[in-house]
Structure 1
């Protein structure tokens, strides 16, 4: 096996669809028409993830501590940057158009979505498919 075959960055940069789940039961969430509600995401090995961490490090340079609110804001910003799009998102009775701003608002107001995204983007198997090189 040639380790050069494992291009995790390329796999994470392609993105993958995460099916949103009910925050308590874990059941897949579906639209009124019975279609999957999905969010398309980049992974932790993506170039965008590393760029976002670099930006955060620059902002935090010289600061000794950050508040919980600031940490949450950074998390929301990071996840919004890793979001490529979505299908079936309805919020407050209205289909929600995908924009980075709308992603940040949704993730800020519904922390259970952030938690699901955190788990999803950290699992290389979601991007690398069956553990085999792409």
Structure 2
């Protein structure tokens, strides 16, 4: 019998998402609450169709803006660091599917919503960096049943 390629197919998991524990920036260990439960975020991967569509739409919009500026003999404004950060956060929010129910911010429960995800990634760039590095590694979306 042949090898079933479905056992190494990662795109499905990239679409549905995987739970990633949040690591403490200093220790590298999972952050836990007072009850010993880890904080996690469920993220889709960079191969998810929705992120590819969003990136394509953003590129098309920029191309249209550049053509419109050229038609008026105007310069296209240079992209700033803030523009790039905004794109990164927008992409992370799009890929964020949810998180554990034990998040607290400023002493108040911090439930998952797309708006709260944007707040989280803006205020805590170290968490944004963790999620960025995880969603771009395809092996993170390898089915757990896959064997070497």
Please say whether Structure 1 and Structure 2 have the same fold, judged by a TM-score greater than 0.5: yes
Which residue does 2:125 correspond to in 1? 111
TM-score by length of 1: 0.88
| Residue deviations 1:47-100 (CA, integer Å, cap 9, x gap) | 122122112212322256310001101101110010000012211111112111
SS of equivalent to 2:132: helix
d(CA) in 1 for partners of 2:27 and 2:112? 26
Q: Which residue pairs with 1:91 in the alignment?
A: 105
Give the secondary structure class of the aligned counterpart of 1:35: coil
CA distance in structure 1 between the aligned counterparts of 2:12 and 2:42, rounded to whole angstroms: 15
Over 3 Å counting, the alpha-carbon distance change for 1:59 and 1:32 in structure 2 is farther
CA distance in 2, matches of 1:94, 1:65: 39
Q: Which runs of 5+ in 2 are unaligned?
A: 67-75
Report the CA distance between 1:9 and its aligned residue: 2.0
What root-mean-square deviation, in Å, do the aligned CA atoms of Structure 1 and Structure 2 show?
2.1
TM-score by length of 2: 0.80
